[in-house]
Chains A and B, each alone.
Chain A
């Protein structure tokens, strides 16, 4: 009885949920029907239903492929490095922005920092080639005119890693500050005033007020990033990578693209996709569990 009254009262709020729910059902749960391709010898013309079941044969084949391990290793490597380099970047940037006192300067900096997020990777790729190329890149032109040797930023695998990570920070750090800045507005201003009266300097205030205030946000974002350890976007490694550094740049998503879309081996590609989803789930649950134990913060 209380339930119906409650529903009648708040039905608008539930109605608002319909569209997002429909989105998840249609675009996230619906395609799961296709997961069965991983267990079938997929034939184009017979469709998913008509193709023959082959059990785990495709899994066996994928796990025997050397490229699978290479791309898996690279995915984990690039993502861990990204976590170390790119995860703290927005946090630091947000605190820096928070400390700014001039409102117009703060807003201007924010806008400039957001812009790279809206540039597509294809265009960033073009810019990166122009800036970091060995023969005609801007930086190397300057280096060479000063009499230094050119640096193969894009064609030697270790320097490429740095280019890859730096581009990632440049592209996403500004945008990543949004969540932190939102959380920062929630911190009671009086705390800062009280701290100031007690004689706390800027760094003390950051350490004892700002960071604890951001703890929940940091943990949530960390759990989400850990869940994404095994998933990697396609565009960034594909666009920034090239044949000379494939040893590091070839990742699961580019591998799926090659086997699935380019060679038409949908079964193999689905196997890799399913594998990624399962490992991703394990990671996110594990991180959540660990966080609950250690910090009492969790997302589920």
Chain B
């Protein structure tokens, strides 16, 4: 396998070199076992360049651009279609910056690029750097259209033109809350069902210190990342009219922010109270990557937190480490934040994931759409996400279950399986919604699967979708990043203010936010809403 691939790679380079010199004398030297790549002679082999995320060193003998799945793609899509697949690595952590440089360079840009960042997509589309895809999809993408059924495709439109293929999310849940139930038992308290009950529990955690932390207890683990404050803040937002929802929400980056919605100030006031009573992490403004949060949870200092629903339950993850330090610990999903209607309102993901784009300068747009179409065939998706039946997985009730005791080298085949390689799918698609969820749960260690199931369910309880306008709000692209920073500054400052100074602090922070672009976004959204209504 590896040897033939190497040979094939060399041959591909040779082919390219020859094409460049302008000599097409290929038929003689193409008798390798990969077979048929340019044997017919009349069709020239082409190269399709596809972006791939570089997340660090993969298990040996693989590399980021040459591994089981890239070879699978070459052998099953590339070779039969006379296409040489070339993967262009982009470091995950500086994805947008690198992509900007690549796009600006013009000639060397991959034929397929992608990003999760809405403003980046909007900017490329606005500046005319992307290929319009409607006709290409209609002609070459029947399976792709079927896969992105319903209105999923519309998320890739910019001002009515199809400038991206959106990837599809299998599961839309976002957040769950978690509490140390062993602490509750110790205090003889019930699992809190409302925000008020939660507040009582947090106070008891602080005063009675059931974890025996020696005064270091952090009743509510907080950071300056959305997952830690979003669930709390959104639960304070009052029921709103449709008009308020559209005009008063602010979309910064790829997320909706409730800055102007009624109830936002009360949410911050509650956080101010929690902070001043010592119920949330004192240094939360310093924790921009959840590192301190995880450390505190693992050391058994944290009593309650909100987080992206699956994050605590990975093998060797946060909960595992907590159990190593405190074998008696129990960290279970709960859903305590209630709004004024008694609902557990929280945001969920839009059905789209990445924006997959074909730069205008690409000459391989047909092949690119063919590739995306091939990726969305159910049998391909199954193989790309689960490997080989009997070796990597076996079918149980229609769900491909990973074989846990498979040899490591077999498991390593799938080290980059998922949205990094099956770029059109975010999460596992194996059948019905129920089956998808079961499959995703099966990716977690068996001891945590029940907890994971529960967290998943909570993450989808009383959720609401992001607001989607039929045209982009330009002010959001312009001021978004800056306003995100202002928003975080507002949260930190109002939380840390003395209770007596809260109003003053809130007003000055809000004023700063509004003049820094908040007002411009509000005006543009109001205009866009009225326009939409008058249609």
A binding-site residues for B, Cβ under 8 Å: 43-47, 65-67, 129, 133-136, 150, 154-155, 242-244, 246-247, 258-259, 261-265
Contact B478–A154 (Cβ < 8 Å): no
Given known A-B contacts A66-B512, A242-B286, A135 and B281 have beta carbons under 8 A apart: yes
Q: Considering the complex, which residues of chain B in the window 50-88 have a beta carbon less than 8 Å from any beta carbon of chain A?
A: none
Q: Interface code B217-233, partner A: CB below 8 Å = 1, 0 otherwise?
A: 01000001000000000
Question: From residue A291, how far is it (CB to closest CB) to chain B in Å?
Answer: 39
Interface residue from A46, A47, A150, A155 paired with B496 (Cβ < 8 Å): A155
Task: Pick the contact of B285: A44, A136, A155 (CB < 8 A).
Answer: A155
Interface contact B103-A246, CB-CB below 8 Å: no
Known: A45-B104, A262-B96. 4 other contacts (CB 8 A): A45-B103, A45-B127, A243-B492, A244-B496
B478 and A263 form a contact (CB under 8 A): yes
B103 touches A44 (CB 8 A): yes
Which partner residue on chain B sits nearest A129 by CB separation? B286
Contact of A264 (CB < 8 Å), options: B123, B128, B224: B123
B119 contacts A by Cβ under 8 Å? yes
The residue in chain B whose Cβ has the minimal distance to the Cβ of A51 is B127
User: B480 near A: Cβ within 8 Å?
Assistant: yes
Chosen A-B contacts, 26 in total, with CB atoms closer than 8 Å, are: A43-B128, A44-B103, A44-B124, A45-B127, A45-B360, A47-B104, A47-B106, A133-B286, A134-B282, A135-B218, A136-B283, A136-B292, A155-B285, A242-B285, A242-B288, A244-B496, A246-B485, A246-B489, A258-B481, A258-B482, A259-B481, A261-B97, A262-B481, A263-B482, A264-B100, A264-B120
| Chain A hits for B491, CB < 8 A | 243
Give A150 to B292 CA distance when docked, in angstroms: 18
CB-nearest residue of chain A to B359: A45
B interface: dominant SS = helix
B residues within 8 A CB of A242? 285-286, 288
Binding site for A on B (CB under 8 A): 96-97, 100, 103-104, 106, 119-120, 123-124, 127-129, 216, 218, 224, 281-283, 285-286, 288, 292, 360-361, 477-482, 485, 488-489, 491-493, 496, 512, 515-516
- Alpha-carbon distance A264/B106, docked complex (angstroms): 17
Q: Which 6 A-B pairs have the closest CB atoms?
A: A244-B285, A45-B129, A263-B481, A135-B282, A243-B492, A262-B481
Contact in complex: A243, B285 (CB < 8 Å): yes
Are A259 and B482 closer than 8 Å at their CB atoms? yes
Contacts of A136 in B (CB 8 A): 283, 292
**Cβ 8 A contact of B485, one of A247, A258, A264:** A258
The CA-CA distance from A258 to B516 in the complex, in Å, is 13
Contact between B512 and A244, CB atoms less than 8 A apart: no
Does B97 lie within 8 Å of A44, measured CB to CB? no
A265 touches B478 (CB 8 A): yes
Are A135 and B283 CB-contacts (below 8 A) given A67-B516, A244-B493?
yes
Q: Are B120 and A154 in contact (CB under 8 A)?
A: no
Indicate whether A155 sits within 8 Å of B516 (C-beta atoms), given known contacts A44-B129, A67-B482, A263-B119: no
Alpha-carbon distance between A150 and B282 when the two chains are bound, in angstroms = 11
Are B106's CB and A244's CB within 8 A?
no
Q: How far is the CA of A129 from the CA of B96 in the complex (A)?
A: 28
Given the complex of chains A and B, what is the CA–CA distance between A67 and B515 in angstroms? 9
Task: List chain A residues, Cβ under 8 A from B129.
Answer: 44-45
Q: CB distance A155 to B283 under 8 Å?
A: yes
Q: Which of B285, B361, B515 has the most CB of A within 10 A?
A: B285
In the bound complex, do residue B120 and residue A45 qualify as a contact, i.e. CB atoms below 8 Å apart? no
The contact of A155 among B103, B286, B515, by CB within 8 Å, is B286
| A150: nearest chain-B partner, CB-CB | B282
> What residues on B are CB-neighbors of A134 within 8 Å?
282-283
Q: For B480, list chain A residues within 8 Å (CB).
A: 263
- CB of A125, distance to nearest CB on chain B (Å): 10
Q: Which B residues touch A261, using CB under 8 A?
A: 97, 100
- The CA of A46 and the CA of B285, in the complex, are separated in Å by 41
B122 to chain A, nearest CB (A): 10
Specify which chain A residues have a CB less than 8 angstroms from the CB of B127 in the assembled complex.
43-46
Contact status of A154 and B104, CB under 8 A, knowing A45-B127, A259-B482: no
Hey, which chain A residues are within 8 Å of B283, CB to CB? 133-136, 154-155
Which of B283, B361, B485 is packed against the most chain A CB atoms within 10 Å?
Answer: B283
Kindly list chain A residues whose C-beta atoms are within 8 Å of the C-beta of B224. 243
Whether the Cβ atoms of B492 and A244 lie closer than 8 Å is yes
Minimum Cβ distance to chain B for residue A279 (Å): 22
Chain B residues lying within 8 Å of A150, measured Cβ to Cβ, are 282
When chains A and B are docked, how far (Å) is the Cα of A85 from the Cα of B184? 52
How far does the Cβ of A217 sit from chain B's closest Cβ, in whole Å?
39
Q: How far is the CB of A33 from chain B (nearest CB, A)?
A: 15
- A41 and chain B: residue at smallest CB distance: B127
Complex Cα spacing A91 to B286, Å:
34
Interchain nearest-CB distance for A163 vs B (Å): 12
- Bound form: Cα–Cα A247–B285 in Å: 13
- Which residue of chain B lies nearest to A250 when distances are taken between CB atoms in the complex? B485
Task: Enumerate chain A residues within 8 angstroms of B512, measured Cβ to Cβ.
Answer: 66
Report Cα–Cα, A246/B285, bound state, in Å: 11
Bound-state Cα–Cα, A67 to B224, Å: 21
By a CB distance below 8 angstroms, the chain B residues around A44 are 100, 103-104, 123-124, 127, 129
Contacts of B100 in A (CB 8 A): 44, 261, 264
A264 to B125, CA, bound (A): 13
Instruction: Determine which of B104, B281, B478, B488 lies in contact with A243 in the assembled complex, contact meaning CB atoms within 8 Å.
Output: B488
Would you give the shortest CB distance from B435 to chain A, in whole angstroms?
A: 39
B235 → A minimal CB distance (Å): 22
Whole-angstrom CA separation of A133 from B491 in the bound complex:
19
CA distance in complex: A45, B357 (Å): 14
From residue A113, how far is it (CB to closest CB) to chain B in Å?
A: 28
| Residues of B contacting A65 in the complex (Cβ-Cβ under 8 angstroms) | 516
Q: How far is the CA of A231 from the CA of B256 in the complex (A)?
A: 35
In the complex, A244 Cα to B492 Cα: how many Å?
6
Provide the residues of chain B in CB contact with A46, threshold 8 Å: 127
Residue of B nearest to A67 (CB): B516
A158 to chain B, nearest CB (A): 14
Closest-by-CB residue of A relative to B126 is: A43
**Could you say which residues of chain A place their CB within 8 Å of the CB of B360?**
45
Please give the distance in Å from B257's CB to the nearest CB on chain A. Answer: 15
Let me know if A45 and B482 touch, CB within 8 A: no
Q: How far is the CA of A134 from the CA of B129 in the complex (A)?
A: 48
B281 to chain A: closest residue by CB: A135
What CA separation (Å) do A155 and B287 show in the bound complex?
A: 12
- Chain B residues contacting A67 (CB-CB under 8 Å) are 482, 516
B-chain residues with CB within 8 Å of residue A264 when the two chains form the complex: 100, 119-120, 123
Given A44-B124, A155-B283, A244-B285, the answer on whether A66 and B516 have CB atoms closer than 8 Å is yes
* Cβ-closest chain B residue relative to A126: B291
CB distance A45 to B281 under 8 Å? no
- Inter-chain CA distance A134–B481, complex, in Å, is 28
Query: Most chain-A Cβ atoms within 10 A of its Cβ — which of B480, B489, B512?
Result: B489
Q: Could you say which residues of chain B place their CB within 8 Å of the CB of A43?
A: 127-128
For residue B288, which residues in chain A have a CB less than 8 angstroms away from its CB?
Answer: 242-243
